[in-house]
Chains A and B, each alone.
Chain A
């Protein structure tokens, strides 16, 4: 309780709330503008946080994050183009409702669903993360390394269309992180005799170069597009119907709670994210509805489900980040990097070692939902103004800001060169079809993985420790299945083998559970064994009459 009060004292100050408000408005705008991603907004907010305390900096970025998730609904509803991938499903019913002359209600439903979804997730975050983090106290270096290794295998899930390109991108990120002087022995690596390379690449310039710089280059690539306004909104004068919308959202509480839980669960899963959860929640709402035919025609449930889910996903991602020290999605990967900049090393023992900071993050997430709700109407007016600006004007000014922002990190011009280099690298990778998210994951997690491996080897060079420690076995087993997750996603419903994926994963995890001490975990292991065998039996029966979906062949 004392930690919660101390955290509350940190966050509930006028200064911090003002910073969070600025972050929330910036996030709302960035989320609303098509072509700007939430990750880019959070990355660009980073330079402002250097001079802040760790809790203020993270609180500001959480403001941007939550704002970005809510901002996407504005453009999705008003112009039919989702501001971010997390609002794709919102446009299915939001845009038709706006065209039917009810844009105020559509926005209101989106705003209040986002608020309730985020608030439910905040409660879950505060309740679940500390409990989950207690497990982290049992971890030894082998377990830590296995956990980070598991997080690295997520790159396969982030790969997108081409699995091999995603893996190459992740491996490149890991290698980038090895350039320069290493932390453990202070030995320089891959410097080729250059002082610049000996310093290594700072995380922030790499991140801004890869994400923001290269994204801006993509936005201005087409000369005609670059000279066009950000969006054709015209003169919009809309009043958000708050009261009516809040009543409707609360009356549809089943859909709200279900969608929020889908969002939280998707967020907890590494690499899933809000771009998946909003569509998943929409689909489930449609399946559970008594009037599924109304979906897509401007139906209220079709706005509530995706908006509650995408904001709840943020809470789920933060649970993974806070409890295990691994990023749930690309935005939390950036936040982990931000914590490193403030000399806070994220790990499963983070909540125990820095409880005030941890609870500050929980409370900031809770407050951010209220701030976003409060500022949505103001952001709507700003959004209409910003959309009249031409893309090249915004891009030119942001490019200059990127340079000044990365300079502020260490006050050295070399970081600006790093920005340019990784801007070129990022742009080339985008055009060659290499996803950038795995690379970021590699850059963030590479040094952490190496550090834990060094600690493990320093204690004992016996490599069998990795298969005799239960948590290490658990995470290494999970890693094996995580590596195949990309193929599973691609072939699900098309290939027969995907039916066996989940039951086999559950069964493969049971030995680790049996290796754990006490009665409860081996007991869970027995339940997993029975459940896994039953699921395997069912999968076998399904496989007999398996009909692949369009484009698939049974195998």
Chain B
């Protein structure tokens, strides 16, 4: 049996997603008022997406298997994927940690830590790099925090640890 290409897998995922939404749209509460039901528009959209996804699926069956990875010089397999997308994956993970810890660290401390971590991961771990990144992080986040707090009067998240917004 021929292995599935990337587009076919995406099309299958989209069709599964459409199935989930179609099921969910059947459970939308119908109020006794209004002429256009709250479920009508989403159901039309789900039908449209399902149709497009089905066309995409059929089209994808004719595509060659993952030519893109050869084109962009990526190694095959999971390790090749992780190596190729290393930077974005780490950045997303750091951002996730930043948001998860925001209630404790707050916007200022958390933001400084975020910028420092991102710069260090992307730019290097050398002693001079660390100092430079720390300066960039403090100055940039300090400026943003001041601008939003005092200039735009935005109450940024206050951290429990230091109680600094």
For B123, give its contact among A190, A227, A407, A453 (CB under 8 Å): A227
Whether B141 lies near A400 (C-beta < 8 A) is: yes
Whether B42 lies near A178 (C-beta < 8 A) is: yes
Chain A CB within 8 A of B107 CB: yes
Whether B59 lies near A164 (C-beta < 8 A) is: yes
For B36, give its contact among A392, A403, A453 (CB under 8 Å): A453
Chain A CB within 8 A of B109 CB: no
Whether A182 lies near B38 (C-beta < 8 A) is: yes
Q: CB-nearest residue of chain A relative to B100?
A: A417
Chain B CB within 8 A of A388 CB: no
Q: CB-nearest residue of chain A relative to B91?
A: A217
For B156, give its contact among A221, A404, A449 (CB under 8 Å): A404
Chain B CB within 8 A of A185 CB: yes
Per-residue contact bits, chain A 161-173, to B (CB 8 Å; 1 contact, 0 not): 0001101100110
For A420, give its contact among B45, B49, B96, B107 (CB under 8 Å): B96
Q: Which residues of B contact A165 (CB under 8 A)?
A: 56
Whether B45 lies near A461 (C-beta < 8 A) is: no
Whether B122 lies near A396 (C-beta < 8 A) is: yes
Per-residue contact bits, chain B 129-165, to A (CB 8 Å; 1 contact, 0 not): 0000000100011001100100011111100000000
Chain B CB within 8 A of A457 CB: yes
Q: Which residues of A contact B84 (CB under 8 A)?
A: 221
Per-residue contact bits, chain B 11-50, to A (CB 8 Å; 1 contact, 0 not): 0001000000100110011110111101101100110110
Q: CB-nearest residue of chain B relative to A402?
A: B95
Complex Cα distance, B114 from A123, in Å, reads 47
Q: Which residues of B contact A221 (CB under 8 A)?
A: 84-85, 87-88
Chain B CB within 8 A of A408 CB: yes
Chain B CB within 8 A of A226 CB: yes
Chain B CB within 8 A of A458 CB: yes
Chain B CB within 8 A of A184 CB: yes
Chain B CB within 8 A of A257 CB: no
Q: Which residues of B contact A453 (CB under 8 A)?
A: 36, 41
CB distance from A185 to the nearest CB of B (A): 5
The DSSP consensus for interface residues of chain A is helix
Q: Which residues of B contact A454 (CB under 8 A)?
A: 34-36
Chain A CB within 8 A of B52 CB: yes
Whether A190 lies near B21 (C-beta < 8 A) is: yes
A164-B52, A187-B28 as given contacts; A403 in contact with B111, CB under 8 Å: yes
How many pairs of A and B residues are in contact by the CB < 8 Å rule?
A: 165
A168-B52, A404-B156, A424-B92 as given contacts; A189 in contact with B148, CB under 8 Å: no
Chain A CB within 8 A of B65 CB: no
Complex Cα distance, B99 from A478, in Å, reads 46
Whether A168 lies near B53 (C-beta < 8 A) is: yes
Q: Which residues of A contact B61 (CB under 8 A)?
A: none
For B35, give its contact among A392, A399, A417, A458 (CB under 8 Å): A458
Chain A CB within 8 A of B124 CB: yes
Complex Cα distance, B145 from A403, in Å, reads 12
Chain B CB within 8 A of A411 CB: yes
Chain B CB within 8 A of A269 CB: no
Q: CB-nearest residue of chain B relative to A173?
A: B45
CB distance from A150 to the nearest CB of B (A): 16
A188-B29, A411-B155, A424-B92 as given contacts; A164 in contact with B35, CB under 8 Å: no
CB distance from B159 to the nearest CB of A (A): 12
Q: CB-nearest residue of chain A relative to B34?
A: A185
Complex Cα distance, B33 from A260, in Å, reads 52
Chain B CB within 8 A of A134 CB: no
Chain B CB within 8 A of A401 CB: yes
Chain A CB within 8 A of B4 CB: no
Q: Which residues of B contact A392 (CB under 8 A)?
A: 118-119, 122-123
Report which residue of B36, B53, B92, B102 has the largest number of chain A beta carbons within 10 angstroms of its beta carbon.
B36
Whether B45 lies near A175 (C-beta < 8 A) is: yes
Per-residue contact bits, chain A 100-129, to B (CB 8 Å; 1 contact, 0 not): 000000000000000000000000000000
For A400, give its contact among B53, B140, B157 (CB under 8 Å): B140
A189-B28, A407-B107, A408-B154 as given contacts; A396 in contact with B45, CB under 8 Å: no
Chain B CB within 8 A of A51 CB: yes
Question: In B82-109, which residues have CB < 8 Å from any A CB?
Answer: 84-88, 91-92, 95-96, 98-99, 102-103, 107
Complex Cα distance, B44 from A174, in Å, reads 10
Chain B CB within 8 A of A192 CB: yes
Whether A187 lies near B29 (C-beta < 8 A) is: yes
CB distance from A355 to the nearest CB of B (A): 29
Per-residue contact bits, chain A 411-441, to B (CB 8 Å; 1 contact, 0 not): 1010011001001100100001100000000
Question: In A443-482, which residues have CB < 8 Å from any B CB?
Answer: 446, 449-450, 453-454, 457-458, 461
CB distance from B149 to the nearest CB of A (A): 10
CB distance from B130 to the nearest CB of A (A): 14
Q: CB-nearest residue of chain A relative to B9?
A: A432
Whether A397 lies near B115 (C-beta < 8 A) is: yes
Complex Cα distance, B123 from A114, in Å, reads 38
Whether B136 lies near A399 (C-beta < 8 A) is: no
CB distance from B123 to the nearest CB of A (A): 5
Whether B99 lies near A175 (C-beta < 8 A) is: no
Q: Which residues of B contact A457 (CB under 8 A)?
A: 35-36
Chain B CB within 8 A of A344 CB: no
**Apart from A51-B154, A171-B52, A189-B38, 9 more pairs, CB < 8 Å:** A164-B55, A185-B31, A217-B91, A221-B88, A223-B86, A400-B111, A404-B107, A420-B92, A458-B35
Chain B residues with a Cβ under 8 A of chain A: 6-7, 10, 14, 21, 24-25, 28-31, 33-36, 38-39, 41-42, 45-46, 48-49, 52-53, 55-56, 59, 68, 84-88, 91-92, 95-96, 98-99, 102-103, 107, 111, 114-115, 118-119, 122-124, 136, 140-141, 144-145, 148, 152-157
- The 11 listed contacts between A and B (C-beta, < 8 Å) are A48-B152, A171-B48, A178-B42, A187-B30, A187-B38, A190-B21, A399-B118, A400-B118, A400-B140, A404-B156, A432-B7
